[in-house]
Structures are given as structure tokens and as C-alpha cells.
Amino acid sequence: MNRVLADEAESIRVGEALGRALDRQSAFVTLTGDLGAGKTTLVRAALRSLGHTGPVRSPTYSLIETYVVSSGAVHHLDWYRLGDDSELEALGFRDLLGPGQSVLVEWPERMPWVAQRADVALTLAYLGDGRQLSAQALTPVGDAVLAAWMTEIG
Amino acid sequence: MITLPLPILSTDRCRAVDARAVAAGVPGLTLMHRAGQVVVEGLSARWPWVRSVLVVAGPGNNGGDGYVIARRLRDRGVTVTVVAPMGLPVSGDAHRAYEEFQRAGGTVKNGETLVFDDVQLIVDALLGTGLSRDVAGAALAAIAAMNDSGLPIIAVDTPSGLDTDTGQPRPDSVRATETVSFVASKPGFYLAEGPDRVGRLTLDPIGVPAAAYAGERSVLEPILPDLVRTYLPRRARTAHKGSHGRVVIIGGAPGMPGAVRLAGEAALRAGAGLVTVVTHPGHAAAIAMARPELICLGLDAGGSVRAVLDAADVVAIGPGLGQTAWARDWYAEAVACGKPLIMDADALNLLAAEPTRREGWVLTPHPGEAGRLLRSDAHAVQADRRGSVLGLAERYGATVVLKGARTLIASPGRPQPWVCLDGNPGMATAGMGDVLTGVIAGLAAQQPNPFAALAEIAAVGVQVHASAGDLAAYASAYAGERGLLASDVVTALRAAVNP
């Protein structure tokens, strides 16, 4: 799926649709994009649509932020400061990949051997005043997420 | 559901298409450039975070694709390391692609062992299709090293070391995360170990003109959504249960009520109007209580099922049947009855012991049963799944469903087997075959003339079963392959039979 997000309102609308899609089909999603490309905007909108009302913090220093929502949990991770597998293990990562739990990972390239199990690869890039969103399915679960996402966007 | 726009062709036929494209004025080097471009575009889209790639390039045309990929990735600012464990290309288009890479400033680590420091993804362009001998030496070591790296691997055209005609690793092959294949799909991707080695498959014609495919026929035919929809139309608003056929399922030896119950429920979920289970009297009541929509008939040895069979539109026999005298009597009656017949499990073992031919039947063996039916063994069947399913169809005059990863369906008079592209490893569990038997019987019962269309109905049944398996594994609230039960698939059938 490729889509131009003309402004922030559109980014929020598409992000909310992503939240509802993940509510239907939980998944492991990688997030790629330069600073300010809108990753946090997308994640915040997804969490809002899942009923989360509190703050949404960047996981840059905490490494993981977990949000409990009605359908389960959403884990937002930043792997930039991770050194090796053992640190991922220490975060309990293997327990995060389960039914009803979605995992959104920034800086997946730090752990390619883990990131290759992702269901969806999501990219945001600057495009004039807006953003170019690309989402590619890598697994059957990813196919289901993209189908649900497109339905939710309408 | 995957649909294939491209045929599945053997190595020889693929080469013939390539040759026609070149004769029609598309130079080989142009095809190589396009192949490389397709891989790079796919890599950038699906692996957007990858900034450092190791390209393992062979000396032949597959390696040539690798040099194009390496050059294009460098153009995009990706850090690229190229290793050539089998040496550099010395002639032809591959050599030109190497020279282009070199002129663009690329360097090759010739013959060095693979080092994966800071590598985020491997491009496997070591060996292509048409292996002339088993892989050995540095190439075999490189394949093992790629697999052991734990990194994502994109295979170019085919995973290196895989026999693309048979699906056998020779003797080892790359286990790719995804394979980007060109011009046509390859039978080895669907046979033997192939499904485990190709990963996610992407196909691209790389600009080969349609005329170059003239006269070529896919050696396996994917079951297309159109076929499924043909046999699962929207129901008439005036339908009644008599419109949807009567199924009789025979099975369930003492102590084995589960298999025949699953088959019965699956026939109902596939849409049959009435389903009668003929089983051992010891547990007939238990099945009826667990699933009240089933009619359960408990019969002792010596009783006759003829009257029940006479009332059926379709008969299935085998789930939990056993091979006792009780089973043999009913087996003989089922084979002799003039109704469309689905045979599974112990019914197939009884058939193997005393082969016969019959009109209008479907056999649904797993590789072990297929081996017995062919007087060989499961290993030989797996080594040649396509030949085996065609041979079985011919020998027994039957539509044959050879179960396994990428189930094949063959029928006398049809030159090519169908191949099912869906389903998942979660379905390799007890009872899943019983569900398939019930589905095929249930679908056949809904046809006005099941005899005429038994082969297509079997193919549609396999597809519906696989789609339901995928729905149950991936689209449910409690998703996952491991722990998937046959009962979960029965539940998901309703969505799959209402496309």
C-alpha cells in the first residue's frame, strides 16, 4: 500500500485506521522514517483510536512503552540503543509477539535477524508539505492487516 | 489467496521462453538488468530499513543478476559487500554485468569466506535454475553459512541449491525469507522441500513479451478463485435443505468417534443439507449429543448399510474406520454402491491391500497412504509428488488428492495437476484430513450432477479447506499456527464457503 498523506489531519485519520486494523489483527510492524517524518503521529493516532487517553511517549530512552488497550496491548519499541539479542531478551520481547498484542518497532535494522519476522514494513518519507506512506506485507498476517487497514481508511 | 499471473514451467520450458524473448529482440543483458531492478525495488519496498547488504554472487547468470543488484543498491546509497565464493563470471551477460558493477566502482571479495558483520540482509545470487550436478565445495559452504547467519535472505530467481524441477535440495539449499523469481514460476517451489525453502514468493515477467509464452502450459495449475466461486454461488432465496444434498459418512471404529464426527461436521459446515454418520453403536449417541445436527446411525457388524447408501447423494468412507471385519463389510458396500464416493484413511489402506477401479470416486491419501497405493513408500512419493499424483489417478481411475504442504489434485484425462497455494503448517495435525473428506463430500452433495464435476469439486474442496485453515490460523482473535485444531478449521469453514 502506498499513500500520500497531504497533511497532519490525514496522517491522524490513517493512523486511527491503523489502530482499528490492529484491533482486528494484531501484528509485528516495523516503522522506518527520518526524524519528524511522522512515526510518532501515526502511533499516537493508532493508540487514540484503540481507546488510549493518556500520554504517548517516545520509547527512545525507555526502549519500550506498553499500552494496555481493550483488545490487548500495543508495545512501542525503539531498538536504536540496543546492543544485542540479550538486551531484547531482557525486555521480554519474545513474550510480546502473541495473540492480541501488537508490536511497533523503530530502528529495526539494529536486529535484522529479529526484524525479519515482522508482518508489515511501514515507511514514512517527506513529500513536499505532506508525507509518503508505504506499507508492505511480509507474511499472511501482514496481508490481513493491510486488507483491514485499507477497509478502515475507506 | 495468491493468484499467479505467470505459468509454472520446468527449467527446459523456462529456457525456451527466455530464448524466444531474446529472438524477439529483448537482449539477455536487458532481461538481466530488469531482473536486478525488480529485486532492488522489492527490497527497497519490503525491507525499507535495510542499509547494508551482502550479495553472494555466483559465476553464472544468477550471479550476473547479483552484480546488477549490487550496482543498483550502491546507487541508492546502500552499503554493499559482494562475495564470489565460486569465482567471477568469465563470459556472457554475467561477465558484462560484473564489468558494469566494477566500472561503477564496486569491488568483489573473490573466494573469501562469508563475513556477516554489520550485514542486515543477504541477497542470494549464487546458483540459479538447472543445476547440472549436486552442489559441493565452496558453494555448499556458502549455502550453509547463509542459512546459519540468521539474517533475512532474498533469493534471486530461486534459492541456491534447490532443484527447481523437483523441489529437492541438492544436497542443501538456501532457506530464503523471500524469493523473487522471473519469467515463470518453478515447479520445485511447490514440491518436496521447495515450499520450506522459497519463503514468500514474488513473480515478475521482467518484460518478456506474451508471445514468448506461446504454446507453454503450466505444469501445475493453481486453483483460481474463479473456480471456487463457480462451485460456491450465492444460494437461491427459495432453497430448502433438500436442495443441498444428502451425505453419508461411514467410519468410527470402537474408540475412534472423533474422526467421523469431524468429517460429519465439516460436511455440514461446507453446506450439505443432511449428513448421516454411520458408525459403531458404542458411540453413535455420543456423537449425536455433541453435534445434534448430525444424524447418527449405530450399526453392528453384520448389519447392512445398503438402504442408507441408496438414500445418499454422496458417500464418504474412511475416517476412523479401522480394518476390522466391521470395517471391511461396509467398505465393500461403499465401493459397490453407485454413488460418488470419497475415500480416506483406512478405506485407502483397504484399497491398497486389494486394488480395484471404480467410476466417480475421490481418493485423499497423505504421502504414506499414497506410497501404499503405489506399492512404493512415502519417501518415493515425496521425491516425485507430481508424478505420484498423476500415476495414482491413472492407476485407480480416480480423482486423487495428494495431501501435504502444497496439496496436489489430479484426475484421469487432465494432463496437469492442480496445486493449492494456501494452507499453513498449523494444519499438520490430527483430524485435519477428516475435515477435508467432509468438505469434499459436502460440496459434492450440493451439485446437481456431482459425477460430472468430481475433480473440480475436489480441487475446490482442497482450496476451501486451506482457506479455512488460514482464517483459523491468522485471522482469529487467538491467532497462530501452533495449536491450531481441526475443530478450529471446521468453525472457520463457514466463512470460506461463502466467498
- A126: domain CATH number? 3.40.50.300
**pLDDT computed for residue A97 by the predictor:** 82
- Given A25, A32, A100, which is nearest B475 (Cβ)? A25
Task: Enumerate the residues of chain B whose CB falls inside 8 A of the CB of residue A32.
Answer: 48-49
Three-class SS string for chain B?
CCCCCCCECCHHHHHHHHHHHHHCCCCHHHHHHHHHHHHHHHHHHHCCCCCEEEEEECCCHHHHHHHHHHHHHHHCCCEEEEEECCCCCCCHHHHHHHHHHHHCCCCEEECCCCCCCCCCEEEEECCCCCCCCCCCHHHHHHHHHHHHCCCCEEEECCCCCECCCCCCECCCCCCCCEEEEECCECHHHCCCCHHHHHCEEEEECCCCCHHHHCCCCCCCEECCHHHHHHHCCCCCCCCCHHHHCEEEEECCCCCCHHHHHHHHHHHHHCCCCEEEEEECHHHHHHHHHHCCCCEEEECCCCCCCHHHHHCCCEEEECCCCCCCHHHHHHHHHHHHCCCCEEECCHHHHHHHHCCCCCCCEEECCCHHHHHHHCCCCHHHHHHCHHHHHHHHHHHHCCEEEECCCCCEEECCCCCCCEECCCCCHHHCCCCHHHHHHHHHHHHHHCCCCHHHHHHHHHHHHHHHHHHHHHHHHHCCCCCCCCCCCHHHHHHHHHHHCCC
Q: Is A109 on the interface with B (CB under 8 A)?
A: yes
- Say if CB B81 and CB B109 are below 8 A apart: yes
Task: Enumerate the residues of chain B whose CB falls inside 8 A of the CB of residue A121.
Answer: 45-49
The answer to whether the Cβ–Cβ distance between B48 and A112 falls below 8 Å is no
Q: Residues, chain B, total? A: 499
Band the pLDDT of A76: cuts 50, 70, 90. Answer: very high
Structural domain span for residue A24: 2-153
Q: Which fold has domain B11-218?
A: Rossmann fold (3.40.50)
pTM score of the predicted model: 0.87
More confident residue, B140 or A95: B140
- Given B45, B424, B479, which is nearest A99 (Cβ)? B479
Band the pLDDT of B476: cuts 50, 70, 90. Answer: low
Let me know if the fold of B11-218 is the same as that of B225-496.
no
CA-nearest residue of chain B to A124? B48
The answer to whether the Cβ–Cβ distance between A99 and B477 falls below 8 Å is yes
- Given B46, B120, B177, which is nearest A136 (Cβ)? B46
Q: Which fold has domain B225-496?
A: UDP-N-acetylmuramoyl-L-alanine:D-glutamate ligase (3.40.1190)
Complex-level ipTM beyond the 0.90 threshold? no
CB interface of A with B, residues 115-144, below 8 Å:
115-116, 121, 123, 134, 136, 138-141, 144
- Given B46, B150, B480, which is nearest A113 (Cβ)? B150
Domain ranges of chain B: 11-218, 225-496
The answer to whether the Cβ–Cβ distance between A140 and B470 falls below 8 Å is yes
Q: What average pLDDT does chain B have?
A: 93
pLDDT tens across B420-443, in order?
A: 999 999 999 999 999 999 999 999
pLDDT tens across B248-270, in order?
A: 999 999 889 999 999 999 999 99
More confident residue, B479 or B272: B272
Report the number of distinct structural domains present in chain A: 1
What single letter denotes the amino acid at residue B20? Answer: R
